[in-house]
Copies of this chain bind each other. A is one copy, B any other.
Amino acid sequence: MTSRRITPIILSGGSGTRLWPLSRLGRPKQLIAISGEETMLQETARRASDPALFEAPLVVASADHAEAIEAQLAGTPPARLILEPAPRNTAAAIALAALNAAEDSVLLVMPSDHVVARPDAFRAAVEAALPFAADGWIVTFGVTPDRPETGYGYIRQAEALGAGLFRAARFTEKPDRGTAQAWLDEGGWYWNAGIFLLSAASCLEALAEQAPDLLAAVRASVEAQRIDGARALPEPVSFARAPSLSFDRAVMEKAPRVAVVPVDMGWSDIGSWEALHALGPADPDGNVLAGDVVAVDSTGCLIRSDGPVVVTLGARDMIVVATERAVLVAPLGEGQRVKEAIDALLERRDRPAS
């Protein structure tokens, strides 16, 4: 066990339209209390807040959300809030963080909008992975699957590198249902949660090898960045030259020393209303309810209000989400089509009044 402390990197760049109308451009998922009292951003920061193990975090976010983030993290302020000049996916965001971190630091990269129901399991996995990350391995956290999920990428384990840690043999895209079931039966396959532990040096080295143009653009942007209190504002023209790539695609699928630490931590990315329904807790009728809601003779529903009282009557397996601005109603299973709803709404709003 190394005594070095870890620098959390919290990625808050998501626009979060998948939980519309609760989330929207101005209020993405990570800034909302979805499953508890705290917002998902606050829960993420808390998960890596023990000073015995962690430094203050670096947060990478859109400038649109800077004030909301600072307000939400007032109790555990970030060492630096790095404001992306434009959305450029996770590889550029992680590069921004690595270039703003101390050269000898170890980084724990975490999306800000994931649920971890068992943070102790997560912490144990982080501790198991730390010596390997300090030694130059890029460690990813593989979530033990409990169902043949087709919505996530998977990681296949190879030989053990140590206690609870394996070399990563292969990263895959989202499988079809039959493949997902076969992998679940076979074992040794894990969901790719997009959480990484790696040294800043390894991160920059891997980027230099696998995505040199991206690293050059981000490095130029950081070298010219403006500092305003705890905020860092990278220079936008250079940053705009960075290609939009996921860190998985840019680095993880190609780098030579990649490890996976399996962890069963009650993880969900809450990527859809269905995922939130699955997360529960459900009442005896299978309804997951939140806010000012009355479900009469209704079963299997996700019903949530942040605005007007919602009453359902004889509803079966429905999604009903209300805010002061908008109401979404869809059968459970159609929630992944929410972008169609947003598009239809935008199209209608753009139409001249007639």
Q: Which residues on A are within 8 Å of B, measured CB to CB?
A: 21, 294, 296-297, 305, 307-316, 318, 320, 322-331, 334-335, 337-338, 340-341, 344-345, 348
Contact = CB atoms under 8 A, between A and B. Distances in A.
A328 B315 CA distance: 10
Contacts of A312: 328-330
Nearest to A348: B294
Contacts of A323: 308
Max count, chain B CB within 10 A of own CB: residue among A311, A320, A324, A348: A311
Given A294-B348, A316-B331, A331-B316, A326 B341 contact: no
A315 B296 contact: no
A330 B308 contact: no
Nearest to A316: B331
A313 B326 contact: no
Contact of A326 (B297, B310, B326): B310
A329 B337 contact: no
27 contacts: A21-B311, A294-B341, A294-B344, A294-B345, A296-B337, A296-B340, A296-B341, A297-B340, A305-B327, A308-B308, A308-B322, A309-B326, A310-B329, A311-B327, A311-B328, A313-B337, A313-B341, A314-B331, A314-B334, A315-B329, A316-B331, A318-B318, A318-B329, A320-B327, A320-B329, A322-B322, A324-B324
A344 B307 contact: no
A219 to B, nearest CB: 43
Given A327-B320, A345-B294, A308 B307 contact: yes
Contacts of A327: 305, 308-311, 320, 322, 327
